[in-house]
Amino acid sequence: MTRTVKEKNSSVRTRSLIRLFERLRQFSTDDFFEISSTLFAAIVVVILALTAVVLTRGSIPAFDAYGISFVFGSDWSAVAGREVYGALPYILGTLVTSAIAMGVGVPISLGIAIFLAEMAPGSIRNPLSQLIEILAAVPSVIYGFWGLLVFRFWIVDLIEKPLSRDFGTIAVFQGTPFGLDILTAGLILAIMIIPTVSSISKEVMMAVPSSQREAAYSIGATRWEVVRIGVLNYSRSGIFGAAILGLGRAVGETMAVTMVIGNAIGPAAFPGSLFQSGQTLSSLIANEFGEANPGSLLLSSLIGLGLILFAFALIINVFAQLMVWKVLRVKGRVE
Amino acid sequence: MEDFKIQTQKLNAWFGNNHALKDISLGIRQNQVTAIIGPSGCGKSTLIRCLNRMHELVPGARSSGSVLLDGANIYSRGIDPVTVRRRVGMVFQKANPFPTMSVYDNVAAGLKLNGVRNPDTLDEAVKRSLEQAFLWDEVRDDLDNSGASLSGGQQQRLCIARALAVEPEAILMDEPCSALDPIATAKIEQLITNLKEKYTVVIVTHNMQQAARVSDVTAFLYLGQLIEYGGTTSLFENPKEELTERYLTGKFG
């Protein structure tokens, strides 16, 4: 019994060896392309994994030194012998600026997407869509420059001064309007997420089958009602995904934010008021890394901020891709 | 002059340069089922889409002539197509329920657009419409399920219920059974026969047997022209036009 199984196994092995040799003999340029392109594709996975490994390893000293208070602490001091680093104000700064960006940027993006997908004729839709894509390609340092030199004065004159005058007693509007603050950073981010959110929302809306619009028209919907019950309802999870992709961009954006947020440090960086200087995870890394010596706790802490940021961005993007993918995949299934 | 519910007068329709309907004049009576038959591309769908101003929603589409609803031209200046569509409902070739809405919300959608908010009124209208669409018994316990979770035939009856909920005066059906199996088709045909007690029904079909089974009056269209129009029995048994006879006997189409 065992012998026959063994014989069988060995003959199978021989046969597969023979097949392998035949494969090698026939090794052609096709195989070469297949193997090399697979390797290139694998690089993506390797880069992502290496990033995670490097960030985790680099931040171990900081987590060793401060434990959980590295995440929930609020002091930031590089004075030798009394070094202490806590990430909480910058985590909150990131969340608040991103929330402002979403609150302002997403409705505007939806308006743009509805116009492009539902209202505009092709002769306007196509060039305008191209322009929006170009907007996404503007380097963020340019947005930062514009924010620093132009936009912040508009914010001070048009929004902050009136609000501060009339509602200055409310906590979120306290402080002297200066323009280099959390509000400006949030609004710059809002502008920066518009290209992403609006162009993906437009794609998702255009994937809605026209039978959905006809269904709405046939029960006596007006044009706006058709958009609402025929289009937005159908594509809502995709639009949600688009918004979350925008959030991913807002959370990670560094340069423009660094230039306009005022760069507060330590407990002063808690985002208590919109008119107050703040700091985000990414802007703090950008500001401080030049002063961090190799092997220092400061460097390890900055890498730790990077790890937190990386985790945020990863979770947000995976979630968003799933939502968008869900809508584009069911396109045409229910018509 | 005879009293028609819907009457077309010299109705022409185009898609860009394609002249899809040529001088169609016909009258549709209340409480009757009117069938429109003809080979593919003859303009059947275009014709009924002109009856509730859905035709003009297609880019490049236009029309001329008039369509009288209770004697008033729905293409007159100042007539809101939204009101026309609330009076003349439509069911499409492929069932198109709103997939993110529940069965209940699908049926209630049109009423909500009309500003009906009272839950009792809505409940009542949803029940009545689903009953009229022969769907109530199958979904009464699953009103909260997604409209897309129903079978194909149920989805089509859900769409009929959705159209009925706003209490239209006429219902247009554009090949409502073409995607359904024979059993689901039979149900819908029975339902159409029931509907004419309350409504004016116009049905486009490529299935001649179906036209013979459900309709009182039949119109035969060919290449955008109205070839023959008359009582279904006489048109099927004694067609006056040679073209009609050749189509009915399967010589072309």
A229–B52 CB contact, under 8 Å: no
What is the ipTM for the molecules in this complex? 0.93
* Total number of domains in chain B: 1
- Asked whether residue B72 is assigned to any structural domain, the reply reads yes
CA–CA gap between residue B105 and residue B112 (Å, rounded)? 9
Which residues of chain A lie closer than 8 angstroms to B89, CB-CB?
218-219
pLDDT digits (tens, 9 = 90+) for B184-241: 999 999 999 999 999 999 999 999 999 999 999 999 999 999 999 999 999 999 999 9
Which residues of chain B lie closer than 8 angstroms to A221, CB-CB?
82, 113
| Enclosing domain of residue B123 | 6-248
Residue A158 has pLDDT above 90, yes or no: yes
pLDDT attached to residue A169: 87
Dihedral sign (CA B123, B129, B131, B137): negative
pLDDT attached to residue A7: 65
- Please, where are the H alpha helices in chain A? 2-25, 29-66, 69-72, 88-114, 122-137, 140-146, 152-154, 161-167, 182-206, 210-218, 223-225, 236-252, 255-260, 281-288, 297-330
**Which of B89, B100, B101 is facing A218, going by the closest CB pair?**
B89
| Tokens of residue A206, six digits | 């255009």
Which CATH number belongs to the domain containing residue B41 in this structure? 3.40.50.300
Enumerate the domain spans of chain A. 2-58, 88-330
In order of A136, A273, B123, B162, B189, the CA distances from B107 in angstroms are: 42, 48, 10, 4, 20
- Asked whether residue B240 is assigned to any structural domain, the reply reads yes
B163–A217 CB contact, under 8 Å: no
pTM above threshold 0.95: no
Give the number of beta-carbon pairs within 8 Å between A and B: 72
B100–A236 CB contact, under 8 Å: yes
- Asked whether residue B1 is assigned to any structural domain, the reply reads no
Q: State the average pLDDT for chain A.
A: 90
Which residues of chain B lie closer than 8 angstroms to A228, CB-CB?
none
pLDDT digits (tens, 9 = 90+) for B13-22: 999 999 999 9
CATH node for A88-330: 1.10.3720.10
Which SS3 state, helix, strand or coil, does residue A61 take?
helix
pLDDT attached to residue A13: 79
- Asked whether residue B197 is assigned to any structural domain, the reply reads yes
pLDDT digits (tens, 9 = 90+) for B135-189: 999 999 999 999 888 999 999 999 999 999 999 999 999 999 998 999 999 999 9
Q: Which amino acid is at A25?
A: R
